[in-house]
Copies of this chain bind each other. A is one copy, B any other.
Amino acid sequence: MPELRLNLVTREWVIIATERAKRPMDFKNSVDKPAVPPYLKTCPFCPGNEYRTPQEHYRLPFDGNWKIRVVDNKYPALSPGEKKRVSDGYKRSISGIGVHEVIVENPIHNISTALMDVRDIEDIFRVYKARFIDAHKDPTVEHVILFKNHGESAGTTLEHTHSQLVGTPVVPIQIRDRVQAALHYFDDTGECMICSILKREKEEGARVIIDTGHFLTFVPYAALSPFHTWIFPKRHSAVFSDITEEEIRDIAYHLKVLLSKFHYGLEDPDYNYVIRSSRPQDRGNEYCHWYLSIVPRLTKTAGFELGSGMFINTVVPEKSAEFLKGVRPG
């Protein structure tokens, strides 16, 4: 009998459809991806082509050969300007202002996060932190999303490894609704929802993949798709940019191990990850708690998901976790 599970964070019910269940290993990428060279003359993100990108905002290290560069998106969804709101009957609009940056994660064209040295991944998080703080200095920015699209089906158009930061002039309703759910949970129980899920997931253990001093990586109880994974910081903290150096080293390790498990166990699937966080000015918030969510793109959403907002997951979350636990990276 299939089962519906409630995702407490999103308030969405997920259908765990065992009738159409696949074994985790059936999700392995069966197509060989074409070979990609380590350097591509025509790639705007490859060293030597820096002139082909729009304004640079940041580089690491600051002198010498760069390891990470942050530039404006050449085709920005949002760009700096004056905030104008129009409210005309049923029409509400805001000028498309905000921030849209690209984080070029590595000079090597064909390296993927799964294959990077863990110290290179630490640097990516250091840059995320710096740009997250900086984006919030723009008074028109209300919300910042840090995310990565890996692979074509995850929405990448440029194959050189990169992630993106978007600062929007409004708070998306999805975020408002989740904050509201977290607030109700806090009012009901006196606890942060994420802290409480962390404690219970650790106790139960059935969905835990990696457990270290500062982070817990696990498949959510109501995972929305096969191998959907959350990385939760153990210390209560509403704001991603309050991450410490020690925590950066730990989350880089988690991401490296998890993505290596994806890479070797599922044959380099396409995926998206996103960092969900409150704004620096909401640092004192007791019911919000930042985290990182990773969704491999192994299934397609269809009319049912569009029409209901519900997801159908064909792999039982405990089985996803068990499979990933068993993969030996490298």
Chain A positions near chain B (C-beta within 8 angstroms): 1-6, 8, 10-13, 15-20, 75-79, 81, 89-97, 143, 145-149, 152-156, 164, 166, 168-170, 172-175, 177, 193, 196-197, 200, 221, 272-276, 293, 295, 300-304, 306-310, 312
- Oligomeric state, in number of copies? 2
Enumerate chain B residues within 8 angstroms of A169, measured Cβ to Cβ.
4
B173–A309 CB distance below 8 A: yes
Shortest beta-carbon distance from A222 to chain B in Å: 8
In angstroms, Cα B146 to Cα A4, docked, is 19
B93–A4 CB distance below 8 A: yes
With A12-B172, A12-B173 as given contacts, are A94 and B309 in contact (CB-CB < 8 Å)?
Answer: no
A75–B173 CB distance below 8 A: no
A8–B90 CB distance below 8 A: yes
A1, A76, A152, A307: residue with the most chain B Cβ atoms closer than 10 Å? A307
Q: Which 8 A-B pairs have the closest CB atoms?
A: A155-B302, A2-B96, A174-B309, A147-B303, A274-B307, A20-B75, A6-B92, A272-B303
In angstroms, Cα B20 to Cα A155, docked, is 14
